[in-house]
Amino acid sequence: MAVVRAREQDLKLLARLMRAEAEGDGELGMLMVGNVGINRVRGNCLDFQGIRTIPQMVFQRPGGFEATLKGYFYQRARERDVQLARRVVQGERFWPATYALWFHRPPGPDCPPQWFNQPNSGRYKSHCFFAPSGDDCPGVYRW
């Protein structure tokens, strides 16, 4: 059962975002970016209050994803990427993005201890992930 409502066009949009943000980190990296997106829709907290759909999350301004401002995001979704998007919409989660609302690609090998005042939850390849506390965003921890 899906944890957020997603039409086929929403899955394709999420797939394009996941690919544009993390293709270089492989399928697991793309799944983690998908986790962050779904957490933003489910969380309804902090900078993501009122974000209730995948299109709202993808195109949020300010605070949205940098990839949506570049041409690579606007390529057609590939079927394999849509399958990955479907997995995160169905509720699959992957550490360290399990509860993350943010990710960041640092210029060096170290992750900052915090991002937008949220603690680092870990790193996977080129991205650092940051998760809120349960007090700051209980919706991220409830599904």
User: pLDDT digits over 77-88, tens only?
Assistant: 999 999 999 999
Which among 37, 45, 32 has a CA at the least distance from the CA of 11? 37
Residue 2 within a domain? no
Specify if 1 maps to a domain: no
3 lies in some domain = no
Express each pLDDT in 90-101 by its tens digit. 999 999 999 999
Instruction: Tell me the residue range of the domain where 137 lies.
Output: 8-141
How many domains does the chain fold into? 1
What is the pLDDT, as a whole number, of residue 56?
97
Rounded to two decimals, what is the model's pTM?
A: 0.96
Q: Are 125 and 30 in contact (CB under 8 A)?
A: no
**pLDDT at 10 exceeding the cut of 90:** yes
